[in-house]
Amino acid sequence: MSFPWANHYTPKAPLMQWIDERLPLPRLVYNAVGAGYPVPRNLNYFWNFGVLSGLALMIQIVTGIVMAMHYGANELVAFGTVEHVMRDVNGGWLMRYAHANGASFFFIVVYLHIFRGLYYSSYKAPREMVWLLGLIIFLLMMATAFMGYVLPWGQMSYWGAKVITGLFGAIPVVGEPIQTWLLGGFAPGNAALNRFFSLHYLLPFVIAGVIILHIWALHIPGSSNPTGVEVKGPQDTVPFHPYYTAKDGFGAGIFFILFAIAVYFGPNFLGHPDNYIEANPLSTPAHIVPEWYFWPFYAILRAFTFDFFFIPAKLLGVLAMFASILLLFFLPWLDTSPVRSGNYRPLFRKFFWILVLDVLVLGYCGGAPAEEPFVMISQVAAAYYFAHFLIILPLIAAFEKPLPLPGSITEAVLAKHGEAAE
């Protein structure tokens, strides 16, 4: 794998040897997430969130497959079959609450994973491909979550589907035909519900495939670390197993505790009450809001209230919303500072925390009704969001004087413990 001192797989049990000679799958696992993958010894808890994201995907796939056994993707029965799962299927309420909250927890850990990457500039060379694949996973997740939210066929499902597909309707000339084509009709109906179910079942497995690429790309340069200094030798790393499997085990325990609190004691806290009302095309909810994990983007969408000459405000909002995600793909080339870790970048660090606050404000405004003062606040916050990535970030490198970097990971670790490097 990545480092010459990595452990080599030597099967001990005869069965494993037999398998390995014919299909080197044990070797692959060993090198991917076993003792054959050397990892920097100084990773902090923010490096737990990759594994936790994978765990969240597994929870979604398992609970989702069980629920699909009881669900009917038809506009006449969908809402009722979800209630059937909740009331008549043994343990059905657990599956559904775990699945609904699992989506939220998936986004929580993925957002922490992404912001970890932003703070430590994990997107910089040679890990650009890891970052790009991660963003593709993020986009797939958003599509999957959106379509999954439509399936219970509640009021927010229906009107959310209408609003989101309506975004495509903002595209000039071809917009409305595209919207009709996406929905299979002029409004969400049976055709839309069926295709969303089909794709909602398919996309998680596409995500799993891209995760394999994501991990593969990660294993070429190896994991980054909080100092941002590359691994220099064997003293800088520990084998993934048992060191990080143990640490991830503890992280998974904390994750499960928080997840259990949500599922068992506040299962509807993150949901919207309107989705317990069956979809009704004739009654528009007072405030149509997507799930919380889309709120920052929803705020950007709604922040555009004035036409820009011949470009209608709605189209601007749609373009800006897509741009707010697509710009992340260019991050490795926008941030020119040779220093990776925010720990050694005093100016960058300040702007990073402003960005965190900014996204939280956007999220709050996105969940609030589209009225003042929330629209004005989201306009300022959205302006900062674009300025941060497209203007400030490329300029910081020119003005910033980074702090001196440690000579190596080991040196940084020993300095932390008050010892000199040998």
Partner 1 sequence: MVRIGAFLIGLFFSGWLLVSFLMGAVAYVSEPPVPTAEKEFHLHPKHVSYSFDGPLGHYDKAQLQRGFQVFSEVCSACHSLKFVSFRDLADLGYNEAEIKAIAKNWKIKTPDIDPKTGEMATREPVPSDKFPKPFANNVAAAAANNNAIPPDLSLMTKARHSGTAYVYSLLTGYQQQPAELLQKFPDVKTPAGLHYNPYFANLNLAMAPPLTAEGQVTYGEGQPKPTVDQMAKDVAAFLTWTAEPKMESRKSAGLAVLLFLLVATTLAYMSYRNIWAETKH
Is 104 a known active-site residue?
A: no
C-alpha distances out from residue 270 to 143, 197, 210, 266, 292, Å: 19, 22, 28, 8, 7
Is 113 a known active-site residue?
A: no
CA atoms within 13 A on the CB side of 245: 13
Residue selected from 273, 281, 346, 407 as contacting partner 1 according to rule CB under 8 A: 273
Determine if 66 is a binding residue for partner 1 (CB under 8 A).
no
Separation between Cα atoms, residue 36 and residue 232, nearest integer Å:
17
Is 278 a known active-site residue?
A: no
Binding mask 326-345 for partner 1 (x = CB under 8 A): -x--x--xx-x---------
Q: By CB under 8 A, which span of 6-14, 107-115, 128-136, 272-280 interacts with partner 1?
A: 272-280
Residues 107, 145 contacting (CB under 8 angstroms) = yes
Residue selected from 391, 403, 407, 421 as contacting partner 1 according to rule CB under 8 A: 391
Residues 349, 294 contacting (CB under 8 angstroms) = no
Name residues contacting partner 1, limited to 234-263 (CB under 8 A).
238, 242-243, 246-247, 249-250, 252-254, 256-257, 260-261, 263
Hey, is 145 helix, strand or coil? helix
Determine if 304 is a binding residue for partner 1 (CB under 8 A).
yes
Separation between Cα atoms, residue 135 and residue 140, nearest integer Å:
9
Residues 182, 194 contacting (CB under 8 angstroms) = no
Beta bridge partners of 238: 39
Burial 18-43 (b: 16+ CB within 10 A, else e): eebeeeeebbeebbbbbbbbbbbbbb
Please, which residue, 182 or 334, has the CB nearer to partner 1?
A: 334
Q: Which of 75, 236, 274, 291 is catalytic?
A: 291
Please, which residue, 15 or 360, has the CB nearer to partner 1?
A: 360
Nearest partner of 342 among 119, 73, 164, 188, judged by Cα: 119
Determine if 287 is a binding residue for partner 1 (CB under 8 A).
no
Say which residue the tokens 């506009």 belong to. Answer: 75
Nearest partner of 378 among 322, 314, 302, 293, judged by Cα: 302
Residue selected from 389, 402, 406, 408 as contacting partner 1 according to rule CB under 8 A: 389
Is 307 a known active-site residue?
A: no
Catalytic residues: 219, 223, 247-248, 291
Site residues for partner 1 per CB under 8 A: 41-43, 80, 83, 86-87, 93-94, 97, 238, 242-243, 246-247, 249-250, 252-254, 256-257, 260-261, 263-265, 267-268, 273-274, 276-277, 286, 303-306, 308, 316, 320, 323, 327, 330, 333-334, 336, 371-373, 375-376, 379-380, 382-384, 386-387, 389-391, 394, 413-414, 416-417
